[in-house]
Each structure stands twice: as structure tokens, then as C-alpha cells.
Chain A
Amino acid sequence: MRRFLILFPVYLLSGFTVLKASFAQSVLSVMTGALVTVCARLIRAFGGQAIAEGAILRTPDNSFALMVVAGCNAAHVTVLLWAAVLSFPATWPQRAKGLAGGGAAIHAVNLIRIISLFYLGRWNRDVFDFAHVYLWESLITIDALVVFWTWVWLIRKPGPILHAHAA
């Protein structure tokens, strides 16, 4: 526990320091563009209409456009989750699974978040602001905690040998 309490802020600060670096910003902008493209494709796949232009997701008639900026690409929450995974006592293969699986889970939720914000923004600006600033950021942070908790539960789960011994 003490080890976790020491390592977690260290990893967290290191991660956010890296996020502020210019090389990370260029990587993140590419990632954000890809995220917007995937969102547009998903919307079209389900019968909606959206066009991706760099970090902008817009309607074909330009009636609404949404720009995905730093903080909306789930990078902050991913760093939070990764800092917790790296700080927790586990083997490196377990950590690798936590980083990859946890990161994927967070980004899957973030896709839903951006698509839902796209539709909310077209509907009502006030509700969009609430969902954007308050609700979704909170939900995705709670989601990160649940992903971490699930990962801890999985790596502590007894394997088949343990079950056989207990039986």
C-alpha cells in the first residue's frame, strides 16, 4: 500500500509532464484526428451523417461542428489509469495487459462520449455544455476507476491450480 501511495503520484506527474511536452502534443493531435475519423465512420455506419476534418466532427450541412481538443481525447484519464496500473504490485505481463486492455476500454467509452456529444450539441447547447464539462468527464473518470478495480480483481483471481488445491 505504501509503495502504491508513493509510486502513483510519481507516475501521474511523470505522465502529465510527458503530455505537456511538444512531441507528445504532435502524437496526440494525430491520435485525435484518428479518433474523430472513427467517430464519423461509426455515425455513418449507424445511419447518421457526419464528416471528419482533422479534429473537427461536423454535419454535412455545417449546421453543427464539434472540435475535439486536448482533454477530450481521453489522454488524461488514460494517464490516470496507467499510473494506477503501473503503481500496483503485479508482474510486468499483468501490467502490460492492464495498460492495453484498460486503455482500450477507456477509449471505447470515449468514442461513445464524443458521438453522444455530437448529437447532444445538435439538439441543445445548454445540455451539451453540461454533458461536456461535467457529466461525461466525471463518468469517464468513474469508468477508469472501475476498469482499474476490475483489473486488480482479475490479477488477484485464483487460477485453476489454486482452485484445484482448494478443492
Chain B
Amino acid sequence: MPPSPQLRFLARASILATAILAVWWWLLLTPVLAVMRAPTEFALRLLPGCGQETRILTGPDGQWSFAAPPGAASAPLQNAIQEAMRGLPDAAAKVPWRISSKQVVCARTSLSLFSLSLPLYWSILLAAPPRKSRLRAALGGSALAAAIGFVSLLLFFVKGTNDLAQFVPGAAARFALDLASYLGESLLPYAAPLLIAIWLNSEFRDRILSAAALRSSPAQPAHQPAARSGYGPGRKGGRSR
């Protein structure tokens, strides 16, 4: 009995993902992050309170950090420091203290996570059934996957900055930002490449979903075998791999 198309795809995608992700992790990740740094800095400068001097610093462990404006959230800490300094006998007690910035830090593992979409998309694209214009799917999908990774990274920093500066007004908007940042970290890097591949590769989409398009109601009479299509033993004219 030959393996099902699902198992064949699973085997192909797993092998390709292992190979491509390994090359990405050990060879390409550092240069890719170097390329992503300038546009990320540019975008962060657009945040409220962040000026043109905003820079991303790379730490010894490869983490990124940037000085976010302290905002109202820092006021209690600033007051506490001032109160504690007041008890000191020397001149330091008389100096007014002000928190000028706080560091928002993105660990190297999180940074690498935000760059995952691109190699994962290529793995799925190569493992999925062939289509006529794979180049178009490769270019368009790569651009989308890269954009989603970049947006997820920005959401991480925007959320971190907002936690300090609280520039997003209203509970609903803050919740939406929290949820978007959460999705950007925990779902989008992994799920977006799959969804993009399904969207751009019509043959792959048909194999998975065509039955849904042709048969909108689940209650299909048993005497309509022609309504079943897309894959499986009853398919005519389909490509078999």
C-alpha cells in the first residue's frame, strides 16, 4: 500500500525543514539579523518619545536592546529612588534624580524566532505539490513571510515600549496590542508560512480544501459520488506524487 499524500508531504516537509532551518540557523541568521537591524531602528524612531538618536545595541549574547522613553510607568520608581536618596548625608541626596530611559531587550532566541517564517516557508513551498508558476509563489510568499517576521519583531518592541511609556490609550487598544504581540511571538512565525503556502499554491490548497469549496454543506447525499474531488482514490486527472 503506497503512503498517503499526507504522509508523503509530512516526510518531505520534515526533511526539508530540518535541512533548510539548519543552514539558516548556523549560516544565515547573523547576516539576516544584521540586515533587519536598520529598518527596525528606523521604525522604532517613529514611536512616540523615541527620537532620531534611537539606536539598537547588540549585547554580548546577541540580544538587541534599545532605550525606550520611560513614560508615566516610571514615576513610582523614580519617586522611590528620590526618597531613598534623600536619606543620604552627602551631596548626592540633593541631586534631583530622573529616569531618562529604560531598556527594552529582545533575547537572541526571540530574534531568531522572528526570522523563522522565511526558511519555514521555503521548506513548505518545496515540499508541497508542484505548480506551474512556483517562482511567483516563491517571490510573493517570501516577501510576505519576511514582512510578517518583521512586523512580529516590531510588535514585540512596540509592546515592550508601551509597557514602559504607555502611549497606547484605552484598555481595548492595549489589549489588542498585547494580543497582537502575543500572536506575533507564539503563532505567526510558525503558522504564517503554512497559511501563505496554502493561499499562494492553488494545487496544494485544492488538495487540502477543495472538497470544502465544492461541497459547502456537510450533508451530502450518498448517491453523488461526483461531488467528491480533490484527492484520494476517486480523483480523476489529478496529479499524483
Contacts and interface: CB of A to CB of B under 8 A. Distances in A.
A129 interface: yes
Interface string B120-151: 10011000000000000000000000000000
A89 B212 contact: yes
B113 A1 contact: no
Given A134-B21, A134-B25, A138-B21, A158 B225 contact: yes
A88 B7 CA distance: 21
Given A89-B217, A133-B112, A141 B194 contact: yes
Contacts of A89: 212, 215-218
A94 B218 contact: yes
B22 interface: yes
Given A1-B213, A134-B116, A142-B13, A158 B234 contact: yes
Interface in B200-241: 207-209, 211-213, 215-219, 222-223, 225, 228, 230-232, 234
A127 B56 CA distance: 27
A46 interface: no
A130 B22 contact: yes
Contacts of A130: 21-22, 25-26
Interface string A1-23: 10110000000110011001000
B186 interface: yes
Contacts of B116: 133-134, 137-138
Interface stretch (A25-33, A54-62, A143-151): A143-151
Nearest to B197: A145
Contacts of A153: 4, 6, 231-232
Given A145-B194, A165-B222, 17 more contacts: A1-B212, A3-B216, A4-B212, A12-B187, A20-B178, A20-B179, A77-B190, A80-B187, A88-B212, A130-B22, A133-B113, A134-B113, A142-B124, A146-B9, A149-B5, A165-B223, A165-B225
